[in-house]
Amino acid sequence: MKPPKQLSVFVGLIITNCIVMGRAEAYAMKSPPLASFMDGIGNGLGYGAILLLVGFLRELIGSGKLFGITVLETVQNGGWYQPNGLFLLAPSAFFIIGLLIWAVRSWKPEQQEKE
């Protein structure tokens, strides 16, 4: 029996939640309460910032708008910007996250894994 297509969006959220909660629980089991609390706050702010940055870039590159307000005037409206509709699709988030990881590791080489 196939799940309805409306549920497919929530499967990714459930999986992400399990990964985040599993990591938080693993850290909390080995650390004192204050350190665990600070770790949770830091991770929550970090994940939230990444989600906002990815969404910001997808909207800006994909449509030239932010919050429905035109930021980059498109060619269709007499401007110079040609929107890239690929960035409005879900897989573009993987490209953006990959580029962000590449940028951070180029900027801070100590973030790279040791062989």
Domain borders along the chain are 31-111
Q: Quick check: 34 pLDDT over 90?
A: yes
The separation between the first and the last C-alpha atoms of the chain, rounded to the nearest angstrom, is 45
pLDDT at residue 13 in the model: 77
Residue 4 structure tokens: 């309805």
CA distance 37 to 43: 10
Taking the whole predicted model, whether its pTM rises above 0.85 is answered as: no
Q: What is the sign of the dihedral through the CA atoms of 15, 8, 84 and 77?
A: negative
Q: In 6-112, which ranges are continuous DSSP H helix?
A: 8-30, 33-63, 92-107
The torsion region of residue 62 among left (phi > 0), alpha (psi -120 to 50) and beta comes to alpha
Q: Quick check: 112 pLDDT over 80?
A: no
Q: What is the mean pLDDT of residues 19-47?
A: 91
Residue listed under structure tokens 């401007």: 79
pLDDT at residue 6 in the model: 67
pLDDT band at residue 60 under the 50/70/90 scheme: very high
Q: What is the mean pLDDT of residues 47-73?
A: 92
Residue 50 structure tokens: 């990444």
